[in-house]
Structure 1
Amino acid sequence: MSIVYLLLYVILLFLEPINPCRVEECAAWFQKTKDYENLVPKATERYCQVLQTYLKCMNDTQKFCHGNLRFHSSELVMRRHWKEFECEKWESCNENQMGLKKKPVNTCYFNPPPSSRKLKYCSLFGDPHLIMFNGSIQTCSEEGARPLVDNRYFLVQVTNKNVRGEALTTTVTKVTVLIRKHNCSSSLHYEATSDEEGLPRGFVDGTTYQAKGSSSNSVEVLWQDNNYVEIALHFIHSSIHIRRQGPYLSVSVKAPSIVLETEGDVANEMCWAGCRRRSRIAAETAVEEPKKFAECYRRRVHVPKKVAEDRCRNVGTSGTFFDACIFDLMFTGDDYLVHLSRNAQSDFRRLAPHHFQSQIIQQRVRQQQEHNRNLPLNSTQVFDNCLPNSSSFSKSITNCSALLAIFLILIPIL
C-alpha cells in the first residue's frame, strides 16, 4: 500500500489541474480534514465518513475529469480504501440503530469550503453601476430583463426600467432568483420587485429554507428587514444579497469560481460580459463635464457637483462607490440612490474577498489617472451617439415639411 501512496503522491505533484475538474479541491479538503482530526487510514467510522464525502466530491466532478490521470488515480486508491476498511458496515450499523432505510444515491453533500482566492463577487446597483467578477466597473443604461449570473446551481435575473422618464436613466426594478434542482435542493423561486412595500420573507411557494440530508439548512432565505434579504446556498458556499431603497433595488452575488463555471455561453451574463456596448455610459467624463453630458443626452443636472460630493462624502461613500453616488445624485437628484451606493459599499466591504477589494481600489486609481490624462476638456464633442436636441429636431421637421410642400406642388406638373 505504501508503494501506491508514493505513486499517487508523485502523480499529484507533477500534474496540473484541468479546470473545471475539481480533483485538486476535493483532495485538499480531504487532506485538511485528516490533518485537523488526526485521522489515519483505518477501519473507523469517522474515517469512513470523511472518505464518503471525498468520494461524493469526486463523483460530482467526474464528468469534467475525463482523461485526467490525477482524478482516476485518486479515485482508484480511495475506492480501495472503502472496500479494504469495509466502510459499508458503518452505514448499515447507523441505519439499523436509527431505524432508517438505506440512504439513496442522491444524498446531499456540502461542497468543501473554498479558499478566499477562489471566491468571486459581482454587484449591480444605482443608475445602474456594475462591478463584474473580473473587477471591471461599468455604468450603463440597459432596459429589460437580463441574467446577472446563470450556472447549473442558480440563476439571478435583473430587470432594468426607466423610472424617471429621462434618457439613459435606468435602475433595477425586479430581481428574480431561481435555485435549480439538486441533491441538496428542490427547484425554488424568489422574486423581489421595487413596487412592493418590502422584500419577500421567503420563496414564492411560501417556504423559507430547504434541509436535505444534513443537520443544517442547505438553502435558506435570511430576511433582515423590509429592505435587505440574503439568500444563502450553504451547500455551495454561495449567497445572493438583495437590497431595496424606495423604488430601486440592488443585488450582489458571492460564489466560488467552481460554482460559477458553466458549459454554456456566458456572453449574456452581466457579471461576466458586462453591459452591452451601446448602453455603456462614460460616467467619469459625465461627472467632469456635466453640462456637455446633459446637452448630449437631454438630461438635467439636478444637483451641482460640489453639493453632490459633499452629500456623498457625508454618508461615508468612498472610491468607486463615491463616484457612483456623485453621478446618481447629480443626474437624478434622488437621495434614495445615495443610500443605495452606501449600502452597496457596505456589502462590498463585508462580502468581497480582500484581494478583490484591493484589485478594485488599485484599478480605480489607475482609471482615474488615465482619465485625467485623456479628458478632452477643450473638445466640443466629448460623448458619442448624442441625442438630437430640440432645435435640430425642429429644424429637421421644417426641412422635411418644405421638401414635402415642393413635392406636392410638382405632382400636377409631372
Structure 2
Amino acid sequence: MCPPGKELPALGASSSPEEADAGDLLNEAETSQRVSNSPGSAWIGMGKPACSESPGQLENPSFFLRALFLLLFCGHVSSQCKILRCNSEYVAATLNLRGSNRNAAYCNALRSYSHCTRKTARTCRGDLAYHSAVHGIEDLMIQNNCSKEGPTSPPRPRPPAPNHQGFESLDICNYEKSFLYKHGQPPSYQHCAAFGDPHIRTFHDDFHTCRVEGSWPLLDNDYLFVQATSSPVAKGSNATVTSKLTIIFKNMKECIDQKVYQAEIDNLPAAFEDGSVNGGERPGGSSLVIRERSPGQHVEIQAEYIGTTIAVRQAGRQLSFSIRAAEEVARAFTEEQDLQLCVGGCPRSQRISRSECCRGRVATETARALCKELLPVEDVYFQSCVFDVVTSGDANFTMAAHGALEDARVFLPNAEKLHIFQAGAGCPHISSSFLLLLLTSGLWAVLLHF
C-alpha cells in the first residue's frame, strides 16, 4: 500500500516547478516506447521485484503493467527529491543504443543512473520511487554484468536558457518576423503611388490629380522621407509631372546607415548616392537592398527592416513612385509632419479636375483608344492615362498609368481595392448610341409638343 497522507499524482507529475523542466518529465507513450527499445529497460525505477525476474520476464507486458501500476499509485515525489530527473536522464541515455558497444554504453548509463540517485539520496530518503530505482539499478547491473566502477554516460545537454529579448534581438531587422512574434499575426500594409501628371493615390485610397509645381513631400515619417519635384508637363500648361525623386532611408542603429536615393528623368540609378546597393556594414545591412528590374526604366528598393518596398519608374518624360509600407511605419509621424501627399493627398488649392483634359493637344477619342489597349478597365488609372495623353500629347504616358496599376496589383494587400472609380472624373465621352438616344428623345419631345 502507499504511505498514508500522500497524494497520488499522475505518472511523471511533479509537485515542484523545478521538477517540471522541459524535456525532463516523460509521458506514458514515450516511456512505453523507450522500454521496448532498451536492454533491461523494461524496468524504470520499479523496485526490488525485478531481481527475481528473468530477462524474458522483464520484456513481458504484464510485468511492465504491474510496475506501471505501482508508479501510478505510489510514485509521489517530494518537492526536493529529484528522482524523476534521474529517471528521465537514464531513459534518454539508453534510448538509441546501437552497434557492437551497445552493452558497454548501457553499463555506462546504469553507472550514471546510480550516481544520480546517490546525489539525491538525502532528499529522497522516504520516497518509494527512489528506493525502487536504487534496488532496480543493482538488479540491472548484475543482469548485464556491469561493474560498479567505470566510465559513465556524458551528461545530457541542458536546453538553452530562454532569450527574454525573444525574436527582437535575433531578427529585429526583419519587420514581418518581428511583428509576428510580438503580435501573433502578420502586419497590415498600405499602398501609395504618384505617377503621371502627378496623380496621387493615398494610403487611404483617395485619388487626386495635382498641379503641385516645385518640391513636395510624399512621405515624412520616423523612417522615411520622400520628396517629389514637379515641373510643367508642357509650356503654358497647368499640369505638372514628377521630374525628380529623393528618397531618404533614415538611420536605424541596429540595421542600416542612412541611405539616400535620387532619380531624375533619364537618370534612374541602380545604387544609392554613395554607390552602395545595401544598408551598409551593420549586421542588418542586407535588410535594405536596391535592384534594377529594367535598366533605366524600373528600380525596386526593398527595406525589409521596416516592411517596405518602393518602386521607381520612368515612362515618357516623367517619373513615378509606388510604395507598399507597413501600416505601423506609414503612421509613424508627428503633427508637425502633417504635409505628406501619400497621407493627406494634394492640398485643395493644388487639385485640378481631370475633365480639363478635353482642352489638350490630342483628341480625347484618340487618347481613349491608346489607353484602352493597356488599361481595359475604365477606372481612375484609365482616366488618368487619358488626361495625361491629351494634355501632353505623349503616348508614352500610357506606360506610366499601366506601370502604376501593375505596382498596385503587386503591392495592395487587398486586391478588391485595386480599381478605384470616381464618377465624373474623366473626360466626357459621348458615344454614338448616346447621341442616337438624345436625337430620339428630341424627336419625341417635338412630337409631344405638337
In structure 2, what is the Cα distance between the partners aligned to 1:203 and 1:55? 28
> 1:310 — aligned with what?
369
Q: Give the C-alpha shift of residue 141 in structure 1.
A: 0.7
The answer (yes or no) to whether the contact 1:118–1:257 under 8 Å persists in 2 is yes
What TM-score, normalized to structure 2? Answer: 0.54
Q: Which runs of 5+ in 2 are unaligned?
A: 1-15, 18-157, 180-184, 431-450
In structure 2, what is the Cα distance between the partners aligned to 1:205 and 1:360? 36
> 1:238 — aligned with what?
308
In structure 1, what is the Cα distance between the partners aligned to 2:372 and 2:305? 39
Pair 1:280 & 2:339 matched: no
Secondary structure, aligned partner of 1:209? coil
In structure 1, what is the Cα distance between the partners aligned to 2:399 and 2:269? 20
> 1:134 — aligned with what?
204
Secondary structure, aligned partner of 1:310? helix
Mark the CA change 1:338 to 1:108 in structure 2 (over 3 Å): closer, same or farther: same
Q: Give the C-alpha shift of residue 359 in structure 1.
A: 3.3
The answer (yes or no) to whether the contact 2:279–2:285 under 8 Å persists in 1 is no
Indicate which of 345, 355, 380 corresponds to 2:405.
Answer: 345
In structure 2, what is the Cα distance between the partners aligned to 1:250 and 1:172? 7
The answer (yes or no) to whether the contact 1:109–1:213 under 8 Å persists in 2 is no
Pair 1:333 & 2:393 matched: yes
The answer (yes or no) to whether the contact 2:220–2:333 under 8 Å persists in 1 is no
Secondary structure, aligned partner of 2:222? coil
Residues 209-233 of structure 1 show CA distances to partners (whole Å, capped at 9, x for unaligned) of: 1266658811111112211111111
The answer (yes or no) to whether the contact 1:321–1:345 under 8 Å persists in 2 is yes
Indicate which of 285, 288, 292 corresponds to 1:219.
Answer: 288
> Higher relative contact order at CA 8 Å, sep ≥6: structure 1 or structure 2?
1
Pair 1:320 & 2:377 matched: no
In structure 1, what is the Cα distance between the partners aligned to 2:311 and 2:162? 37
Identity %: 25
Q: Give the C-alpha shift of residue 273 in structure 1.
A: 1.4
Q: Tell me which amino acid in the other structure corresponds to 1:316.
A: L
Secondary structure, aligned partner of 2:397? helix
Secondary structure, aligned partner of 1:52? coil
Q: Give the C-alpha shift of residue 166 in structure 1.
A: 2.4
What TM-score, normalized to structure 1? Answer: 0.58
Q: Which runs of 5+ in 1 are unaligned?
A: 3-42, 58-106, 295-300, 378-414
Q: Tell me which amino acid in the other structure corresponds to 1:306.
A: E
Secondary structure, aligned partner of 2:235? coil
The answer (yes or no) to whether the contact 1:233–1:239 under 8 Å persists in 2 is yes
The answer (yes or no) to whether the contact 1:151–1:261 under 8 Å persists in 2 is yes
Mark the CA change 1:308 to 1:55 in structure 2 (over 3 Å): closer, same or farther: closer
The answer (yes or no) to whether the contact 1:317–1:341 under 8 Å persists in 2 is no
Q: Tell me which amino acid in the other structure corresponds to 1:269.
A: Q
In structure 2, what is the Cα distance between the partners aligned to 1:345 and 1:278? 26
Point out the more displaced range, 151-160 or 316-325. Answer: 316-325
Secondary structure, aligned partner of 2:396? helix
Indicate which of 192, 205, 225 corresponds to 1:122.
Answer: 192
Secondary structure, aligned partner of 2:190? strand
Secondary structure, aligned partner of 2:176? coil
The answer (yes or no) to whether the contact 1:303–1:329 under 8 Å persists in 2 is yes
RMSD across aligned C-alpha pairs, in angstroms?
A: 2.8
The answer (yes or no) to whether the contact 1:148–1:271 under 8 Å persists in 2 is yes
Residues 191-210 of structure 1 show CA distances to partners (whole Å, capped at 9, x for unaligned) of: 0011xx34111011111112
